[in-house]
Amino acid sequence: MTVENHKGGGLFVMKCGGSTLAALPDSFFDDLRELQRSGAQPVIVHGGGPAISGNLEKLGIESSFVNGLRVTTEEVLDVVEMTLAGSINKAIVRRIQGSGGQALGLSGVDGRLITARLVANSSEVGLVGEVTGVNAEIVRGVLAMGYIPVIAPIGVDAGGQRYNINADTAAGAVASFTGSPQMIVVTDVPGIMRTLDGRKTVLPSVTVGQIEDLIENGEIYGGMIPKVRAAIDCIQGNVSEVVIVDGKEPRVLSRVLQGEELGTRIIRS
């Protein structure tokens, strides 16, 4: 595959949950290595909600959620940063390097990579940030040195205050500021499913508006609702398309980038 074979001109952004990445087979990272060697420029933004919850529980720190956002105090934020920028970020870097790829772990704090401010409902959720900017030069600089940037979604403001940022929101912002029109969301499901003729079938493409209809009529339900809404959060700025794929699918990244219909493409309209 050459750089010209996909829409991002070589650069593409991939979002993945920490627990999903941990469960991916070695072949996924082999595919990532081959893409990197062929001239593609992957950028990874990762989450890690379950690991954060586990560490908070171990430390006896109470945690709650409001509309899917973790209520974040300074005490909680210490654990969020430790988990995301520490153990999870480095575990991903190790797996990439273990397959023969080259990776560099960063958080949004490093070089003010991700700048942020408090979300509008900060009185309810605390130190949760919305992205105000992404330093695309850092991302491009890391790529130019031959490394895959692996980014933990912690933001920072001009005064040095840290913020907990939703990983999907951070990934969408990184994609938008770096000029990648497409986001790949790697999950543990084959895409958005609906029942046709009594069988569960993957929808090849769906618009943001159709997703709300599918949720309303019960076709999208349970644990798929937050996954889909999170993917919608990625569609911002220059990002016009999000592809939800199962990371266990053979050569999934290469196949999506070559234009193969795989998973579900979410488009604006």
Q: What angle do CA 44, 191, 8 make, to 5 degrees?
A: 40
Look at residue 234 and give its three-state secondary structure. Answer: helix
**Residues 148, 96: Cα–Cα separation, whole Å:** 9
Does residue 140 have a known ligand-binding role? no
Does residue 259 have a known ligand-binding role? no
Q: Tokens at residue 76, please?
A: 């909680």
Q: How many CB atoms lie within 10 A of CB 37?
A: 12
Look at residue 30 and give its three-state secondary structure. Answer: helix
The residue to which tokens 């899917």 are assigned: 68
**Residues 20, 17: Cα–Cα separation, whole Å:** 5
Does residue 94 have a known ligand-binding role? no
Does residue 49 have a known ligand-binding role? yes
First-last CA distance in the chain: 29
**Residues 189, 170: Cα–Cα separation, whole Å:** 22
In terms of Cα–Cα distance, which of 220, 215, 216 is closest to 193? 220
Going by the annotation, the residues of the binding site are 48-49, 70, 164
Binding residues for substrate are 48-49, 70, 164
